[in-house]
Amino acid sequence: MRARILIGGIALLLAATTGAWAKVGGGDITFKPEGVAKVVFSHDTHVTRAGAKCGDCHYKIFTTIEGHRKASMADMQKGQSCGACHNGSRAFTAAAFCEKCHQ
């Protein structure tokens, strides 16, 4: 009986702490557009902090690093690429805060 209680307690503890061990997939992705400073995309910032779901971007706005086409600031202002969310209403506008993305 004690063994069952102990095993049940351990299982409950593991189930309760698994979320704390979970890691956001993807890590940081660095884009190197020509003529401007690099852009570092953080999965942690977008998923953990902003609450985005993987399906919000994959595979609608972005595919993979290899399959992603280059996007200009003009494209973003038309709601493509990062501009799908960074439009000034859902998130800060990409056009007005260059230094938040370009490092």
Domains of the chain: 23-101 (3.90.10.10)
The arithmetic mean of pLDDT across residues 11-40, rounded, is 69
The arithmetic mean of pLDDT across residues 11-30, rounded, is 58
Give yes or no for residue 59 having a pLDDT over 70: yes
Contacts of 96 (CB under 8 A, 6+ apart): 88
Residue 96 to residue 87: CA distance in whole angstroms: 10
Give 64 or 24, the one with higher predicted confidence.
64
| Its pTM surpasses 0.95 | no
Q: What Å distances lie between residue 43 and 4, 10, 95, CA to CA?
A: 40, 31, 21
The arithmetic mean of pLDDT across residues 45-69, rounded, is 85
Backbone angles phi, psi at 55, to 5 degrees: -70, -10
DSSP 8-state secondary structure symbol assigned to residue 49: I
Give 18 or 8, the one with higher predicted confidence.
8
Residue 24 has a pLDDT of 59
Residue 103 to residue 64: CA distance in whole angstroms: 22
